[in-house]
C-alpha cells in the first residue's frame, strides 16, 4: 500500500471524523487506513485539531488510555450561532409568512437542509452530549431539525407517532393535553425503539404552551428514560408559564399581528455552549 503525504492524511482523517460526529476511533484504525505509524497519526491529529479550533469549525477530542482514541464534535461558535439566528429571525419575520389565524409559514425554512443542519448543530451544543443516547421528536415538522441534532451528537433519532402504525409492532401509548388547543391527544412509540433507562434529548420545532413537550416527557417515563433536556427552535413568549421547565429555545416569537402585518422574532441571547 502506498504511503500518503501529510496533507492527504489530514484531509482523510478530518473527513472520516466529521462524517461521524462523536464516534470514537482508535489510532490503530487510522494507522491501518493511512498506512502510517501511530506517532505520525498523533502528529496529524494535533495539526487538524488546532486548525479546526482556530477556524471555529468544530473540535477534535482525544481520549487517553488503552480504550481511547479520537473523536470529532460538530460545534458552532457563539458568534457563528448568533449571526445565523439573527438571519433566520429576519427571514421568519417577513409579513408575507403570516397565515390566517396568526400562524407563520415555516416549512420552507425547517425543511431546508442547510438551515436544519445549522439548527441541529446549535441545539446539540446546548446540552451535555455524553449523557445523550437518543434524540426524540414527534412527527412531523420537527423531524428535520431533530435528525440534524441527532447527527451532530452521533446518536439515533426516535419519532413518537400521533397514532398507531402496524409496522411499529407493540407500542406504548399515552394521552396528553395540548397546551395550545386544550384537547386530549395521543402519542405512541414502539417498544423496540429504544433501550430502557437511556438518556434522551427532546427536540421540537415550535412550542406555545409546551403540551407536546410535556407529552414526550411523560412518554419517556414509560421507558424509564432520563430526559437530559428539551431543545426548541422557536417558542412563544406567551404564555410565559409553560408545561415544561427545562427547555432551551433558539428564538422567541413575541407576536404576530395580522392587521399590521408585523412579526416579531428575536434570537435567544442567553444560549450557553
* Alpha-carbon dihedral angle through residues 83, 244, 183, 161, given to the nearest 10 degrees: 70
pLDDT in tens, 169-208: 898 999 988 766 678 889 999 999 999 999 999 999 999 9
Q: Which residues of 162-189 are buried (b: 16+ CB within 10 A; e: fewer)?
A: eeeeeebeebbebebebbeeeeebebbb
For residues 123-150, give the mean pLDDT. 95
pLDDT in tens, 68-105: 899 999 888 889 999 999 999 999 999 999 998 778 99
* 137 within 8 A of 146, measured Cβ to Cβ: yes
| pLDDT, position 181 | 66
Q: Spell out where 83-215 has E strands.
A: 98-99, 103-104, 134-138, 157-160, 171-177, 184-190, 199-207
Beta sheet of 262-267, edge-to-edge order:
157-160, 134-138, 199-207, 226-236, 247-257, 262-267
Q: CA 37, 38, 44, 47 torsion: positive or negative?
A: negative
Q: Which percentage of the chain shows pLDDT scores above 70?
A: 97
CA distance linking residue 174 with residue 187, whole number of Å: 6
Q: Which residue has the cell 425503539?
A: 193
**Domains in the chain and their CATH numbers?**
6-73 (1.10.10.10), 78-267 (3.40.50.2020)
What is the maximum alpha-carbon separation in the chain?
Answer: 70
Residue 198 exposed, middle or buried by CB count within 10 Å (0-12, 13-18, 19+) = buried
Mean pLDDT of the residues in the chain: 92
Closest to 83 measured CA to CA, from 231, 264, 233, 269? 269
Q: Is the pLDDT of residue 162 over 90?
A: no
pLDDT over 90 for what percent of the chain? 77
Model pLDDT, residue 261: 86
* Residue 148, H or E segment: helix 143-153
Cis peptide bond N-terminal to 140, omega within 30: yes
Reported as a pLDDT band with limits 50, 70 and 90, residue 273 is low
Q: Pick from 6-15, 64-73, 262-271 the range whose average pLDDT is largest.
A: 6-15
Cell of 166: 402496524
The two beta strands, 262-267 and 247-257, are: antiparallel
Amino acid at each position: 500500500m502506498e504511503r500518503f503525504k501529510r496533507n492527504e492524511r489530514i484531509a482523510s482523517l478530518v473527513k472520516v471524523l466529521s462524517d461521524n460526529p462523536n464516534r470514537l476511533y482508535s489510532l490503530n484504525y487510522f494507522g491501518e487506513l493511512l498506512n502510517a505509524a501511530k506517532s505520525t497519526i498523533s502528529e496529524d491529529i494535533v495539526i487538524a485539531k488546532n486548525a479546526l479550533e482556530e477556524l471555529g469549525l468544530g473540535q477534535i477530542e482525544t481520549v487517553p488510555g488503552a480504550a481511547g482514541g479520537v473523536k470529532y464534535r460538530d460545534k458552532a461558535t457563539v458568534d457563528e450561532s448568533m449571526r445565523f439566528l439573527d438571519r433566520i429571525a429576519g427571514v421568519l419575520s417577513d409579513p408575507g409568512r403570516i397565515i390566517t389565524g396568526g400562524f407563520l409559514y415555516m416549512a420552507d425554512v425547517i425543511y431546508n437542509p442547510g438551515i436544519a443542519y445549522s439548527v441541529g448543530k446549535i441545539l446539540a451544543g446546548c446540552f451535555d452530549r455524553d449523557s445523550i443516547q437518543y434524540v426524540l421528536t414527534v412527527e412531523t415538522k420537527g423531524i428535520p431539525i431533530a435528525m440534524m441534532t441527532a447527527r451532530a451528537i452521533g446518536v439515533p433519532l426516535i419519532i413518537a407517532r400521533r397514532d398507531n402504525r402496524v409496522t411499529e409492532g407493540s407500542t406504548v401509548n399515552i394521552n396528553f393535553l395540548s397546551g395550545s388547543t386544550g384537547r386530549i391527544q395521543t402519542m405512541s412509540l414502539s417498544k423496540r425503539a429504544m433501550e430502557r433507562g437511556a438518556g434522551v434529548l427532546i427536540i421540537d420545532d415550535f412550542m406555545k404552551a409546551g403540551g407536546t413537550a410535556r407529552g414526550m416527557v411523560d412518554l419517556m417515563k414509560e421507558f424509564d428514560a432520563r430526559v437530559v433536556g428539551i431543545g426548541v427552535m422557536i417558542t412563544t413568549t406567551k404564555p410565559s408559564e409553560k408545561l415544561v421547565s427545562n427547555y432551551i429555545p433558539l428564538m422567541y416569537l413575541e407576536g404576530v399581528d395580522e392587521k399590521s402585518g408585523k412579526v416579531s422574532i428575536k434570537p435567544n441571547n442567553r444560549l450557553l455552549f
